[in-house]
Chains A and B, each alone.
Chain A
Amino acid sequence: MIKNILGQNVRDEVADNITGGRMHPEKCKLTVEDLDAWYGSKQVIQQVSMGIGAQHITALIGPSGCGKSTFIRCLNRMHEVAEGGRVTGRVFMDGYDIYAPQVDPVAVRRRIGMVFQKASVFPTMSIFGNVASGISLTRFWSRRRDLKDVVERSLRKAALWEEVKDKLDQPGASLSGGQQQRLCIARAIAIEPEVILMDEPCSALDPISTLRIEELMLELKKDYTVVIVTHNMQQAARVSDWTGFMLLGQLVEYAPTKEVFTVPKDKRTEDYITGRFG
């Protein structure tokens, strides 16, 4: 586990180091310091530092290719899985560096879950099996009886229980697109992470499903820290507490959502938000 690896809590120290004083909310769950990321020799993230508020929804906006997806993949050590993916810098969770050499990336991912743009339901598993997969595939043996409660709780939290409770044994792929995405959220919740990263979770969904997921995010915020990457500025404005604007691999502006959308400090943020970007 990550806890107690460094033996001391360094969060406060790091938080003080972060520039500008406004780069983090009051209480940070994650603190990113001088993060650089590469694909092969191409640098896609440059010197990003930010604090991510505990039990906040933090939105990252920016044009395609600005590195926002890569950035959140750095937060649960998924970037290094990609071919040529390399990361330097530090990411602290509750003050402990998840990039410290002794830390097992698999353990990090159990505490920082992720939901992808395209609902990636496991097609060979039932609805039940999908939700339980994070648990059943890390244990040697698990009985359905033991998983039942977790599955029900996760599906309820993901606002999917009522729709699927009578067909838990049907294949996960038989659900609609919006339901599949909520199934993925339930699956991510089932392993009880502390942070949930969402990489454009609604970009393939219709407005009604999008609305449901947004309501769900507001619900999840009570228990989890949520980071969402989105193309949709209205969505960021609707759900998030803090918003970061990224451009060409850099974090241009990061402030409470209201400020970003009403009084952006940076000209580039203003241009992007008002649609004069280009």
Chain B
Amino acid sequence: MKGRSGYFRRKQFSRLMLVLCGIATACVILVLILILGYTLVNGVSYLSLDFITQPSKPVGEVGGGMRDDIYGTFILVGLASLIALPVGMMTGIFLAAFAGPKAASAIRFAADILAGVPSIIVGVFAYAILVRPMHSYSALSAGVALAIIMIPVVARTAEESLRLVPNSQREAALALGINRWRITLGVIVPGAVTGIVTGIMLAVARIAGETAPLIFTALGSAFGVQGLTQPIGALPLQIYRYALSPYTDWQQQAWAAAFLLVILVLGINVIVRLVSSRRSK
């Protein structure tokens, strides 16, 4: 009899925990839906073709868009990727294929710490090494700051995906008398390409929304994109600025920009999912 009641109690407990897990999951999804819904409701009314194709206008003038800031965001993400992809990829390859176990764990630790550095500190760092010596806020310094945030993410995801390639492949290639670096480039990297691309896209999504480092580096620009050594606008910066402004028109625009940014990041994530699910078929 005792055994039976114990069984009953365990079963009840299991059911309770299942319900709690369900509630926790629902909370996570609810937050996402709230964010999407809130930006959608507040932002979509202002969103129009003009918003994407028109430059910003001074206070008081009706209309105006965020063309330059959208353009700026793409430039900054492109710049950061240009720096971070080669560096991050090669670090990942080195970690997965060439570093000894001790060196690898040291580098991995360093990369994890770098990934954990608050982004505002990365911004201050870029300010100190680039903005001050060059006497100007610039797109370049912002690109570098974003690249610093991106590198450890790319390196670690690249390493993880390279490690997932079975060792038997490496051995089979070795037994064919192929050099280590050709094995890495010809067998291991192609086998890990889905994971690497996923990592890169997630890193891009992450830096596209970074604001803090841009305050110290990109600054924002009222005159459009003027070159890499000049201040440049970006979507998150403009959201920050417009949302805090006292003008309702600007606040409206901030909502619209927020919605746009969310859609952009969401879009990248959806593409990642599509690519990786198609590759794994």
Which residues of A are interface residues toward B (Cβ below 8 A)?
76, 78, 81, 106-111, 113-114, 116, 118, 120, 122-125, 133-134, 136-138, 184, 187-188, 191
User: What would 20 more interface pairs be, CB under 8 Å, given A124-B187, A137-B183?
Assistant: A78-B174, A108-B177, A109-B177, A111-B177, A120-B168, A120-B169, A120-B171, A122-B169, A122-B172, A122-B173, A124-B191, A133-B173, A133-B176, A133-B178, A133-B186, A134-B176, A134-B177, A137-B176, A137-B187, A188-B175
Instruction: Tell yes or no: B179 within 8 A of A by CB.
Output: yes
Interface string of B202-243 (1 = CB under 8 A from A): 000000000000000000000000000000000000000000
Residue numbers in B under 8 Å from A118 (CB-CB): 168
Asked if B172 and A106 make an inter-chain contact with CB atoms under 8 angstroms apart, the answer reads no
Asked if A81 and B177 make an inter-chain contact with CB atoms under 8 angstroms apart, the answer reads no
Contacts A137-B183, A138-B182 given; does A116 touch B168 at CB 8 Å: yes
Instruction: Tell yes or no: B267 within 8 A of A by CB.
Output: no
Asked if B177 and A124 make an inter-chain contact with CB atoms under 8 angstroms apart, the answer reads no
Closest to A190 in B: B176
Of A110, A120, A125, A191, the most chain B CB neighbours within 10 A belong to A120
Closest to B183 in A: A137
Instruction: Tell yes or no: B190 within 8 A of A by CB.
Output: yes
What would 14 A/B residue contacts be, using CB atoms closer than 8 Å? Answer: A78-B171, A81-B174, A113-B175, A114-B175, A122-B173, A133-B173, A133-B178, A133-B186, A137-B176, A137-B178, A137-B187, A138-B179, A187-B176, A188-B175
Contacts A137-B187, A187-B176, A188-B176 given; does A116 touch B169 at CB 8 Å: no
**Alpha-carbon distance A118/B169, docked complex (angstroms):** 10
Residue numbers in B under 8 Å from A122 (CB-CB): 169, 172-173, 187, 191
How many pairs of A and B residues are in contact by the CB < 8 Å rule?
Answer: 69
**Alpha-carbon distance A225/B190, docked complex (angstroms):** 33
Asked if B182 and A137 make an inter-chain contact with CB atoms under 8 angstroms apart, the answer reads yes
Residue numbers in B under 8 Å from A134 (CB-CB): 176-178
Of B172, B183, B186, the most chain A CB neighbours within 10 A belong to B172
Size bracket, chain B contacts: 10 to 19
Name the distance in Å between B226's Cβ and chain A's nearest Cβ: 43
Contacts A122-B187, A123-B191, A124-B190 given; does A138 touch B172 at CB 8 Å: no
Residue numbers in B under 8 Å from A108 (CB-CB): 177
Residue numbers in A under 8 Å from B174 (CB-CB): 78, 81, 109
Closest to A184 in B: B172
**Alpha-carbon distance A125/B175, docked complex (angstroms):** 17
Asked if B176 and A109 make an inter-chain contact with CB atoms under 8 angstroms apart, the answer reads yes
**Alpha-carbon distance A122/B189, docked complex (angstroms):** 12
Residue numbers in B under 8 Å from A136 (CB-CB): 186
Contacts A133-B186, A137-B183, A137-B186 given; does A120 touch B172 at CB 8 Å: yes
Asked if B177 and A110 make an inter-chain contact with CB atoms under 8 angstroms apart, the answer reads yes
Asked if B182 and A109 make an inter-chain contact with CB atoms under 8 angstroms apart, the answer reads no
Name the distance in Å between B104's Cβ and chain A's nearest Cβ: 13
Residue numbers in B under 8 Å from A106 (CB-CB): 177-179
Asked if A116 and B187 make an inter-chain contact with CB atoms under 8 angstroms apart, the answer reads no
Residue numbers in A under 8 Å from B182 (CB-CB): 137-138
**Alpha-carbon distance A134/B171, docked complex (angstroms):** 13
Of residues 140 through 179 on chain B, the ones whose CB sits less than 8 Å from some CB of chain A are 166, 168-169, 171-179
**Alpha-carbon distance A124/B171, docked complex (angstroms):** 16
Name the distance in Å between A107's Cβ and chain B's nearest Cβ: 7
**Alpha-carbon distance A106/B183, docked complex (angstroms):** 12
**Alpha-carbon distance A138/B181, docked complex (angstroms):** 10
Name the distance in Å between B185's Cβ and chain A's nearest Cβ: 9
Name the distance in Å between A191's Cβ and chain B's nearest Cβ: 6
Residue numbers in B under 8 Å from A114 (CB-CB): 175
